[in-house]
Amino acid sequence: MTKFGVIKERKNPPDRRVVFSPDGLKSVVTKFPQASFIVEPSSVRVFNDSEYEKAGFAVSDDLSDCDVLLGVKEVPITALLPNKKYFFFSHTIKKQTYNRDLLNAILKNNIELYDHEVIVGQHGFRLIGFGKYAGIVGAYNGFRAWGLKFDTFALPKAETLNDQKALESELSKIKLPNIKIVLTGNGKVGSGAKEILDAMNIKEVSVDEYLNTTFDEPVYVQIDVLDYNKRKDGRTVDKGDFYTNPQEYEGDFMRFAKVSDMYIAGHFFGDGAPFIFTREDAKSKDFKIKLVADVSCDIDGPVATTIRSSTIADPIYGYDPQTETETDVKDPNAIGVMAVDNLPCELPKDASTGFGEMFLEHVIPAFFNDDKDGILERARMTKDGKLTERYSYLQDYLEGKE
């Protein structure tokens, strides 16, 4: 038997997501009868305590008997239970200084930490995450921002709606002008954004059509890294070459910026890759983009208009390309920016359900098959009060040397 505890989220601002919905837990115990669960009570969680009880699961403040504790965001140091296995997003793998004390406390308490972000397959690709829901909400928020900037329509905040279907229902009520929308990325984030564009019945066109044709309806193009980057020597190689030798490439996004009205950034940005567009690019009279929905949200990074992250409470700001400063989003010279960095929080029910399905598929089996695929081994950051070998690069960070 393995006893799991579903912990309540204690971080502020409150996060309503959870690793498993009540139905998700029922699916786990159906497939793995040797698994049992206790749910810590929470007044914040999108699924209330009684829903778990009705599904047949104990709700209790006492998780001391659990072997494995499952959460979403960082657990406050004071709430850590010693000698347990924990799963949550620790935000430490990039040496984030604000969580150094947390990682030290995890070691001091002899906790085995498994970070959701490093649950990867044999080839290093992430197996679970909230990326799809970031893309869904990010695209929705982009259209909401368009309506606010140009006073053309009003959409309710995503967080006030129940699920993705409700978002799509609201979007079906608006009428867009004949704009061109460019979407970067075809991973989980890009796929989530594409679901929204397709649900709105916006026509998808090829790169050639997008760049060279005028349409009498809204259209979009989804582009991959070789569409908006090119080798400096002019050669055409495969995508693997771009990931292996990003320094040999330069950005080629301006050809899209010259004809686009709206940009949804759903790409993954790797170390050494060219910026998608720079502040100098945005100053150009050829730069036509009026609204950027930056789901990726790298500050002062590859999307030059993202000079800060925004919040669910205040999701949109204006960027003046000439002064490189923030301004009123309704300023005629401003590029509208939506850069909320915790988008899946606005769709907690769907995000939690989807996350649990991935966790059941990829992680839970490892507890009962001797981790034959190495899922747990790769994700285990700490053991016996020390960093595991895979994460030993964090030692100097832990000691405050960097």
The tens digit of pLDDT for each residue in 217-254 reads 999 999 999 999 999 999 989 999 999 999 999 999 99
Contact 240, 263 (CB under 8 A): no
Grouping H, G, I as helix, E, B as strand and the rest as coil, residue 223 is: strand
* pTM score: 0.92
Contact 208, 219 (CB under 8 A): no
pLDDT band at 299 (very low <50, low <70, confident <90, very high): confident
Chain-centroid distance of CA 381 in Å reads 21
Query: Is residue 270 scored above 80 in pLDDT?
Result: no
User: What are the tokens at 4?
Assistant: 């799991």
CA separation for the pair 111, 109 (Å, rounded): 5
Strands (E) across 108-235 are located at: 112-115, 180-184, 203-204, 219-223, 229-231
CA separation for the pair 296, 351 (Å, rounded): 17
| pLDDT for 297 | 85
Query: Is residue 88 scored above 80 in pLDDT?
Result: yes
Query: Is residue 271 scored above 80 in pLDDT?
Result: no
| pLDDT for 401 | 87
Contact 90, 381 (CB under 8 A): yes
CA separation for the pair 336, 141 (Å, rounded): 11
Query: Is residue 1 scored above 80 in pLDDT?
Result: yes
| pLDDT for 268 | 79
The tens digit of pLDDT for each residue in 325-373 reads 999 999 999 999 999 999 999 999 999 999 999 999 999 999 999 999 9
Which residue type sits at 248?
E
Backbone dihedral region of 40: left (phi > 0), alpha (psi from -120 to 50 degrees) or beta?
A: beta
CA separation for the pair 317, 284 (Å, rounded): 20
Contact 4, 67 (CB under 8 A): yes
| pLDDT for 394 | 96
* Per-residue buried b or exposed e for 210-249, using 16+ beta carbons within 10 Å of the residue's own CB: bbeeeeeebbbbbbbbbbbbbbeeeeeeeeeebeeebebb
